[in-house]
Structure 1
Amino acid sequence: MKNNDLGLLIFRLSLGLLMLLHGIAKLTHGVDFLGDMFKNLGLPSFLAYSVYIGEVIAPVLIVIGYRTKLAAIVFAFTMVVAVGMAHSADIFSLSETGGWALELQGLYFFGALALFFTGAGKYAASTNSKWD
Protein backbone atom coordinates (compact mmCIF):
# COMPACT_ATOMS: atom_id res chain seq x y z
CA MET A 1 0.00 0.00 0.00
CA LYS A 2 1.41 3.37 -1.04
CA ASN A 3 0.14 6.62 0.43
CA ASN A 4 2.39 9.56 -0.46
CA ASP A 5 -0.08 12.06 0.98
CA LEU A 6 -0.02 10.42 4.41
CA GLY A 7 3.78 10.35 4.25
CA LEU A 8 3.85 14.07 3.42
CA LEU A 9 1.50 14.79 6.32
CA ILE A 10 3.75 12.92 8.76
CA PHE A 11 6.80 14.67 7.32
CA ARG A 12 5.16 18.13 7.56
CA LEU A 13 4.08 17.51 11.14
CA SER A 14 7.53 16.28 12.15
CA LEU A 15 9.49 19.06 10.48
CA GLY A 16 7.13 21.84 11.48
CA LEU A 17 6.54 20.84 15.09
CA LEU A 18 10.21 20.18 15.80
CA MET A 19 11.21 23.63 14.50
CA LEU A 20 8.25 25.27 16.21
CA LEU A 21 9.73 24.20 19.56
CA HIS A 22 12.79 26.36 18.76
CA GLY A 23 10.48 29.24 17.90
CA ILE A 24 8.50 28.85 21.10
CA ALA A 25 11.74 28.97 23.08
CA LYS A 26 12.60 32.26 21.39
CA LEU A 27 9.11 33.60 22.07
CA THR A 28 9.54 32.66 25.72
CA HIS A 29 13.12 33.80 26.26
CA GLY A 30 13.49 36.53 23.64
CA VAL A 31 15.88 37.13 20.79
CA ASP A 32 18.25 39.69 22.32
CA PHE A 33 21.22 37.36 21.83
CA LEU A 34 20.45 37.27 18.10
CA GLY A 35 20.25 41.06 17.99
CA ASP A 36 23.79 41.16 19.34
CA MET A 37 24.91 38.67 16.69
CA PHE A 38 23.38 40.78 13.91
CA LYS A 39 24.96 43.92 15.36
CA ASN A 40 28.39 42.22 15.45
CA LEU A 41 27.97 41.49 11.74
CA GLY A 42 27.25 45.17 11.06
CA LEU A 43 23.53 44.57 10.53
CA PRO A 44 20.62 46.19 12.37
CA SER A 45 19.76 44.34 15.56
CA PHE A 46 16.00 44.48 14.82
CA LEU A 47 16.61 41.76 12.21
CA ALA A 48 16.62 39.34 15.14
CA TYR A 49 12.83 39.51 15.15
CA SER A 50 12.77 37.94 11.68
CA VAL A 51 13.55 34.65 13.38
CA TYR A 52 9.88 34.51 14.37
CA ILE A 53 8.94 34.28 10.70
CA GLY A 54 11.24 31.32 10.09
CA GLU A 55 10.80 29.51 13.40
CA VAL A 56 7.16 30.21 14.27
CA ILE A 57 5.08 31.36 11.31
CA ALA A 58 6.65 29.14 8.62
CA PRO A 59 6.50 25.98 10.79
CA VAL A 60 2.84 26.63 11.67
CA LEU A 61 2.01 27.05 7.98
CA ILE A 62 3.89 23.84 7.18
CA VAL A 63 2.04 21.92 9.91
CA ILE A 64 -1.39 23.02 8.73
CA GLY A 65 -0.45 22.72 5.07
CA TYR A 66 -1.19 26.27 4.03
CA ARG A 67 1.13 27.84 1.45
CA THR A 68 3.52 25.01 2.22
CA LYS A 69 5.98 25.65 -0.59
CA LEU A 70 6.33 29.31 0.33
CA ALA A 71 6.69 28.47 4.03
CA ALA A 72 9.24 25.76 3.21
CA ILE A 73 11.47 28.11 1.21
CA VAL A 74 11.34 30.66 4.06
CA PHE A 75 12.20 27.83 6.47
CA ALA A 76 15.15 26.74 4.29
CA PHE A 77 16.43 30.33 4.09
CA THR A 78 16.17 30.58 7.88
CA MET A 79 18.43 27.55 8.17
CA VAL A 80 20.98 29.07 5.77
CA VAL A 81 21.08 32.23 7.90
CA ALA A 82 21.31 30.22 11.13
CA VAL A 83 24.23 28.18 9.84
CA GLY A 84 25.93 31.28 8.48
CA MET A 85 25.57 33.20 11.72
CA ALA A 86 26.07 30.57 14.39
CA HIS A 87 27.48 27.40 12.88
CA SER A 88 29.71 28.33 9.95
CA ALA A 89 32.81 26.96 11.67
CA ASP A 90 31.20 23.50 11.76
CA ILE A 91 30.18 23.18 8.09
CA PHE A 92 33.00 20.76 7.31
CA SER A 93 33.22 19.20 10.78
CA LEU A 94 32.23 15.85 12.17
CA SER A 95 30.87 15.28 15.66
CA GLU A 96 32.62 13.11 18.23
CA THR A 97 30.44 10.19 17.16
CA GLY A 98 31.29 10.57 13.48
CA GLY A 99 28.15 12.32 12.24
CA TRP A 100 28.11 15.68 10.50
CA ALA A 101 28.33 18.41 13.13
CA LEU A 102 25.39 20.17 11.46
CA GLU A 103 23.18 17.15 10.87
CA LEU A 104 20.15 18.69 12.59
CA GLN A 105 20.44 21.91 10.60
CA GLY A 106 21.02 19.82 7.47
CA LEU A 107 17.89 17.75 8.09
CA TYR A 108 15.86 20.92 8.58
CA PHE A 109 17.29 22.55 5.44
CA PHE A 110 16.99 19.56 3.13
CA GLY A 111 13.60 18.63 4.58
CA ALA A 112 12.34 22.12 3.81
CA LEU A 113 13.73 21.84 0.28
CA ALA A 114 11.94 18.51 -0.16
CA LEU A 115 8.65 20.11 0.88
CA PHE A 116 9.28 23.00 -1.47
CA PHE A 117 9.52 20.56 -4.38
CA THR A 118 6.74 18.17 -3.33
CA GLY A 119 4.18 20.46 -1.76
CA ALA A 120 1.90 19.60 1.13
CA GLY A 121 -0.01 16.65 -0.27
CA LYS A 122 -3.77 16.29 -0.12
CA TYR A 123 -4.06 16.31 3.69
CA ALA A 124 -3.54 20.06 3.95
CA ALA A 125 -5.49 23.23 4.65
CA SER A 126 -5.20 24.29 1.02
CA THR A 127 -4.29 22.28 -2.04
CA ASN A 128 -5.17 24.43 -5.00
CA SER A 129 -2.38 27.00 -5.21
CA LYS A 130 1.05 26.83 -6.78
CA TRP A 131 2.41 27.55 -3.27
CA ASP A 132 0.78 24.50 -1.68
Structure 2
Amino acid sequence: MKYLEKNVDLGLLIVRLAVGGLMLFHGISKMMHGVGFIEQVVSGAGLPHFITYGVYIGEVVAPILIIGGLATRAAAGIFAFNCLVATLLVHTSMIFTLGAEGGWALELIGLYFFGAVALIFTGGGKYSISNKYIWD
Protein backbone atom coordinates (compact mmCIF):
# COMPACT_ATOMS: atom_id res chain seq x y z
CA MET A 1 0.00 0.00 0.00
CA LYS A 2 2.63 2.44 -1.15
CA TYR A 3 0.03 5.15 -1.82
CA LEU A 4 -0.88 5.26 1.88
CA GLU A 5 2.63 5.93 3.14
CA LYS A 6 2.94 9.11 5.10
CA ASN A 7 4.69 12.08 3.60
CA VAL A 8 5.61 14.43 6.42
CA ASP A 9 7.39 16.86 4.12
CA LEU A 10 4.34 17.27 1.88
CA GLY A 11 2.23 17.81 5.01
CA LEU A 12 4.63 20.53 6.18
CA LEU A 13 4.45 22.19 2.78
CA ILE A 14 0.65 22.24 3.00
CA VAL A 15 0.78 23.71 6.53
CA ARG A 16 3.29 26.35 5.39
CA LEU A 17 1.16 27.32 2.39
CA ALA A 18 -2.05 27.43 4.44
CA VAL A 19 -0.75 29.30 7.48
CA GLY A 20 1.53 31.67 5.59
CA GLY A 21 -0.73 32.16 2.60
CA LEU A 22 -3.88 32.90 4.54
CA MET A 23 -2.14 35.32 6.92
CA LEU A 24 -0.52 37.08 3.98
CA PHE A 25 -3.98 38.25 2.90
CA HIS A 26 -4.30 40.08 6.24
CA GLY A 27 -0.93 41.73 5.64
CA ILE A 28 -1.81 42.74 2.08
CA SER A 29 -5.02 44.30 3.37
CA LYS A 30 -3.03 46.35 5.88
CA MET A 31 -0.62 47.42 3.14
CA MET A 32 -3.54 48.58 1.00
CA HIS A 33 -5.66 50.20 3.72
CA GLY A 34 -3.10 51.19 6.33
CA VAL A 35 -2.67 50.32 9.97
CA GLY A 36 -4.77 53.10 11.52
CA PHE A 37 -6.77 50.75 13.75
CA ILE A 38 -3.62 49.06 15.03
CA GLU A 39 -2.03 52.46 15.61
CA GLN A 40 -4.98 53.43 17.83
CA VAL A 41 -4.78 50.17 19.78
CA VAL A 42 -1.02 50.45 20.28
CA SER A 43 -1.20 54.07 21.45
CA GLY A 44 -4.22 53.25 23.64
CA ALA A 45 -2.13 50.59 25.35
CA GLY A 46 0.59 53.16 26.01
CA LEU A 47 3.11 51.45 23.75
CA PRO A 48 5.58 53.25 21.50
CA HIS A 49 4.19 54.21 18.08
CA PHE A 50 6.84 52.28 16.09
CA ILE A 51 5.43 48.98 17.39
CA THR A 52 2.48 49.52 15.02
CA TYR A 53 4.68 48.73 12.04
CA GLY A 54 5.66 45.35 13.48
CA VAL A 55 2.41 44.11 11.97
CA TYR A 56 4.06 44.28 8.55
CA ILE A 57 6.82 41.97 9.76
CA GLY A 58 4.34 39.57 11.35
CA GLU A 59 1.75 39.59 8.58
CA VAL A 60 3.81 40.16 5.42
CA VAL A 61 7.49 39.30 5.86
CA ALA A 62 7.09 36.27 8.14
CA PRO A 63 4.31 34.68 6.01
CA ILE A 64 6.38 35.11 2.84
CA LEU A 65 9.34 33.42 4.54
CA ILE A 66 7.07 30.64 5.82
CA ILE A 67 5.53 30.05 2.39
CA GLY A 68 8.98 29.76 0.80
CA GLY A 69 10.41 27.78 3.67
CA LEU A 70 13.23 30.24 4.28
CA ALA A 71 14.25 30.43 7.96
CA THR A 72 10.93 28.76 8.70
CA ARG A 73 11.42 28.32 12.44
CA ALA A 74 12.46 31.93 13.02
CA ALA A 75 9.67 33.24 10.77
CA ALA A 76 7.13 31.02 12.54
CA GLY A 77 8.36 32.35 15.88
CA ILE A 78 7.81 35.93 14.72
CA PHE A 79 4.43 34.93 13.31
CA ALA A 80 3.36 33.26 16.59
CA PHE A 81 4.52 36.30 18.56
CA ASN A 82 2.43 38.51 16.25
CA CYS A 83 -0.61 36.34 17.01
CA LEU A 84 0.01 36.64 20.77
CA VAL A 85 0.37 40.41 20.58
CA ALA A 86 -2.84 40.70 18.53
CA THR A 87 -4.66 38.54 21.06
CA LEU A 88 -3.40 40.53 24.04
CA LEU A 89 -4.03 43.95 22.49
CA VAL A 90 -7.36 43.34 20.76
CA HIS A 91 -8.93 40.02 21.70
CA THR A 92 -8.22 39.50 25.41
CA SER A 93 -11.90 39.60 26.33
CA MET A 94 -12.58 36.74 23.90
CA ILE A 95 -10.04 34.23 25.24
CA PHE A 96 -12.63 32.27 27.26
CA THR A 97 -15.58 32.97 24.96
CA LEU A 98 -17.55 30.89 22.52
CA GLY A 99 -18.58 32.32 19.16
CA ALA A 100 -22.11 32.44 17.77
CA GLU A 101 -21.62 29.06 16.08
CA GLY A 102 -20.42 27.39 19.28
CA GLY A 103 -16.70 27.28 18.50
CA TRP A 104 -13.97 29.16 20.33
CA ALA A 105 -14.33 32.87 19.55
CA LEU A 106 -10.60 33.03 18.75
CA GLU A 107 -10.38 29.86 16.71
CA LEU A 108 -8.96 31.59 13.61
CA ILE A 109 -6.11 33.29 15.42
CA GLY A 110 -5.71 30.10 17.45
CA LEU A 111 -5.24 28.04 14.30
CA TYR A 112 -2.70 30.56 13.02
CA PHE A 113 -0.85 30.54 16.35
CA PHE A 114 -0.75 26.77 16.80
CA GLY A 115 0.14 26.22 13.14
CA ALA A 116 3.08 28.56 13.61
CA VAL A 117 4.09 26.81 16.84
CA ALA A 118 4.05 23.48 15.01
CA LEU A 119 6.38 24.95 12.37
CA ILE A 120 8.70 26.22 15.11
CA PHE A 121 9.16 22.61 16.23
CA THR A 122 9.30 20.98 12.79
CA GLY A 123 10.88 23.49 10.44
CA GLY A 124 9.81 23.72 6.84
CA GLY A 125 10.59 20.20 5.66
CA LYS A 126 12.45 19.11 2.56
CA TYR A 127 10.24 21.14 0.21
CA SER A 128 11.60 24.42 1.56
CA ILE A 129 14.26 26.83 0.35
CA SER A 130 16.40 26.43 3.44
CA ASN A 131 15.97 22.71 4.05
CA LYS A 132 19.73 22.21 4.16
CA TYR A 133 20.37 24.70 6.95
CA ILE A 134 20.18 24.19 10.69
CA TRP A 135 18.12 27.38 11.08
CA ASP A 136 15.30 26.05 8.91
- Unmatched 5+ residue regions in structure 1? none
Aligned residue pair count:
132
Alpha-carbon displacement from aligned partner over 1:3-58 (angstroms, at most 9, x marks no partner)? 11111101100110000000000000001221111111111222111100000000
AA in 2 matched with 1:66? L
How far does residue 97 in structure 1 lie from its aligned partner after superposition?
1.4
Are the equivalent residues in 2 in contact too, given 1:13–1:62 (CA < 8 A)? yes
The alignment's C-alpha RMSD in Å is 0.8
With normalisation by structure 2, the TM-score equals 0.94
| Structure 1: 4+ residue segments shifted above 4 A | none
Match of 2:108 among 104, 108, 120: 104
With normalisation by structure 1, the TM-score equals 0.97
For 2:77 and 2:135, locate their aligned partners in 1 and report how far apart those are by CA, in whole Å.
Answer: 10
How do residues 37-116 of structure 1 correspond to structure 2 at under 5 angstroms? 37-116=41-120
How far does residue 109 in structure 1 lie from its aligned partner after superposition?
0.5
What is the SS of the residue equivalent to 1:107? helix
**Identity of aligned pairs, percent?**
57
Are the equivalent residues in 2 in contact too, given 1:66–1:126 (CA < 8 A)? yes
- Unmatched 5+ residue regions in structure 2? none
For 2:129 and 2:86, locate their aligned partners in 1 and report how far apart those are by CA, in whole Å.
Answer: 28
1:10 match: 14
Alpha-carbon displacement from aligned partner over 1:69-102 (angstroms, at most 9, x marks no partner)? 0000000000000000110000000011110000
